[in-house]
Amino acid sequence: MKDLSKEVFKFQPIFKQTPWGGNRIIPFKHLQDKLDYVGESWELSDVPGDISVVANGRFAGQTLTQLITQFKEELLGSRVYQKTGEHFPLLIKFIDAKQDLSIQVHPDDALAQKRGFKNGKTEMWFVVDAPAGSTLLAGFNRDVDKDEFQKRALDGSICEVINRHPVHPGSCFFLPAGQVHAICANLFLIEIQQTSDLTYRIYDYKRKGLDGKLRTLHLAEAEEAIDYHASHQGEVAYPKACDETNTVIQCPYFTTSSYELTKPFQLPLRPTESFTILICYQGTFTIQTEGIHTPVATGETVLIPAAVSKANLVPSAGGCRFLSVTI
């Protein structure tokens, strides 16, 4: 019987080349691919046209969709399956911004569904690497109205009314749907979000895409999606205790925790209720599930099914750092 009580899934990365992308993702993941302008690595995706494929073990070659169809609650968890059905609710990415990304916004669930999509896009960023002096943009610094938004988006002054936040490795930001935002140059980060590719581009510095054409803006679509009120939420403060669970973000769409391990650790799971995702961004560790040992290296993302009731993590001699995500 093909039960999932011992399984830990790895997936083939889906690389996205962008005009703002850099060259850090592939070496970060210790791969030999030769691609330029890789802005994103989709680590775990159920977005149509970009479905993740299992890279390890007896299910290698199967898609995430096939796994969900076959195992349902055993993979997703009863609570998640009841809420989302045969739809994986999260999209996990590594992002390498060599240049500033566009100013953009995402719709909430209600607006996305009104426009014929499953759901909107609330997300979070966790900064892996940031040179001294790095910043990002998130939220208006004062209330604006639709007329001012349109004017500033067209004349390029939109950045003047958006908060610019200093960042450093370990910085975390929560970005609810409707909040204007932009990743700025030289940042390398992890993005955790609802499964959606709905992005409304507001301003893009008159930049051309890889096809040589100016990239499309979506001002009409964005107008209804935007929260025009000032946002006073900056970097998220969270505990940073060693060899303990440090909760970073809790919201209706995901709960994210941060770990720095120097010794063996029993990972808190939510067996039968929800899957758990681990995203390793420094060092290596081994996951032990009932006699099965799965090594995890820097740059790898793994999915632990809800059917797994116990997982022990053994870090390498130098320790490790990773995020966990559950629902």
Q: Rounded to an integer, what distance in angstroms lies between the CA atom of residue 56 and that of residue 125? A: 27
How many Cα neighbours within 13 Å face the side chain of 250?
A: 3
Q: What pLDDT score does 291 carry?
A: 83
- The pLDDT value given to residue 207: 86
- Domain ranges for the chain: 9-225, 246-326
Task: Give the model's pLDDT for residue 213.
Answer: 87
pLDDT greater than 50 at residue 138:
yes
For residue 22, the SS3 value is: strand
d(CA 94, CA 88): 18
Q: Do domains 9-225 and 246-326 have the same CATH topology?
A: yes
Looking at residues 107-134, what average pLDDT do you find? 97
User: According to the model, what pLDDT value does residue 1 have?
Assistant: 44
- Are the beta carbons of 107 and 222 closer than 8 angstroms? no
Q: Residue 85: left (phi > 0), alpha (psi -120 to 50), or beta? A: left
| Res 37: pLDDT | 94
261-275 mean pLDDT? 96
pLDDT (tens digit, 9 = 90+) per residue, 2-30? Answer: 689 999 999 999 999 999 999 999 999 99
Query: What's the confidence (pLDDT) of residue 34?
Result: 86
d(CA 103, CA 305): 36
Torsion angle, CA of 245/131/90/4, rounded to 10 degrees?
A: -50
- Rounded to whole angstroms, the Cα distance separating 105 from 169 reads 24
Distance (Å, rounded) from C-alpha 161 to C-alpha 144? 8
Measured CA to CA in angstroms, residue 58 lies from 7, 231, 297, 313, 316 at distances of 9, 47, 20, 22, 26
Torsion angle in degrees (nearest 10) through CA of 293, 191, 91, 261: 20
**How many CA within 13 A on the CB side of residue 160?**
9
Check: CB of residue 243 under 8 Å from CB of residue 263: yes
Q: How confident is the model at residue 84 (pLDDT cuts 50, 70, 90)?
A: very high
Contacts of 145 (CB under 8 A, 6+ apart): 228
Residue 64's alpha-carbon distances to 55, 74, 130, in angstroms, are 11, 13, 32
Say yes or no: domain 9-225 is CATH 2.60.120.10: yes
Q: Is the confidence at residue 302, as pLDDT, over 90?
A: yes
Give the tens place of pLDDT for each residue, 176-207.
Answer: 999 999 999 999 999 999 999 999 999 999 88
Q: Residue 80: is its pLDDT beyond 60? A: yes
User: How many CB atoms neighbour CB 36 within 10 A?
Assistant: 10
Q: What is the mean pLDDT of residues 285-312?
A: 96
What is the residue-averaged pLDDT of the chain? 96
Nearest residue to 104 via CA among 146, 137, 144: 137
Q: If pLDDT is split at 50, 70 and 90, which confidence band does 212 have?
A: confident
With a threshold of 0.75, does the pTM exceed it? Answer: yes
Percent helix, strand and coil across the chain, each to the nearest 5: 15, 40, 45
Give all strands (DSSP E) within 23-85, no chain letters: 38-44, 46-47, 50-51
The tens digit of pLDDT for each residue in 163-175 reads 999 999 999 999 9
Label residue 215 by pLDDT band (50, 70, 90).
Answer: confident
The whole-angstrom separation of Cα 231 and Cα 272 is: 37
CATH code for the part of the protein at 246-326: 2.60.120.10
